Amino acid sequence: MSTHEHLAGVESEAKFSAASPEEQDAEREQTIRELDSIANVHLTELKAIVDPTGPVKLVVEAVMLLMGFKEREAKVWSTARTLVASPSFVARLALLDRDDISPHKAKLLAKYVGMDAFAPANVKLHSTSAHTLCLWFQALHR
């Protein structure tokens, strides 16, 4: 892990830890709004992608890790497409809570947040659907 990636994870964790309960509640509400914006059209677009660009693949990989998939499973696009196609995909995302993210998993996910390719503006250049999922992920990870 690079120093930049490590610092991004530490900074993100410190910001949330330092936030007041009201600020934490507001961040949770923002996370829910981001999840609500993931429409079926976004999922249809993602599952139709046969060979994703790097940023698209990174976003789905990070979400899969957050959901509890092993690293090697999360790197397999056919597994990702099957997951996104699942009727329960968004419902499963809604069950995720930042308070349940272990320190080990938070460290693993921080490497994604620190990548330039994972920046929402960059992801949006490759896929509107992945961008929406990236915004949700970023809101949950804060």
Q: Rounded distance, CA 18 to CA 41, Å?
A: 37
Is the residue at 55 inside a domain?
Answer: yes
The CATH number linked to 79 is: 1.20.920.60
Q: Is the pLDDT of residue 109 over 80?
A: yes
Structural domain boundaries enclosing 57: 3-7+21-141
Average pLDDT over residues 86-107: 87
Residues 6 or more apart whose Cβ sits within 8 Å of residue 123: 55, 56, 58, 59, 117, 130, 131, 134
The reply to whether the predicted model has a pTM over 0.85 is no
Count of domains forming the chain: 1
Query: Which pLDDT value is given to residue 4?
Result: 36
Task: Find out whether 127 and 23 touch, Cβ atoms under 8 Å.
Answer: no
Residue 69: pLDDT band by 50, 70, 90 thresholds?
very high
Query: Which pLDDT value is given to residue 9?
Result: 39
Query: Which pLDDT value is given to residue 79?
Result: 95
Is the residue at 26 inside a domain?
Answer: yes
Is the residue at 53 inside a domain?
Answer: yes
Is the residue at 100 inside a domain?
Answer: yes
Is the residue at 13 inside a domain?
Answer: no
Is the residue at 12 inside a domain?
Answer: no
Spatial CA neighbour of 12 closest among 92, 97, 112 = 112
Is the residue at 102 inside a domain?
Answer: yes
Is the residue at 14 inside a domain?
Answer: no
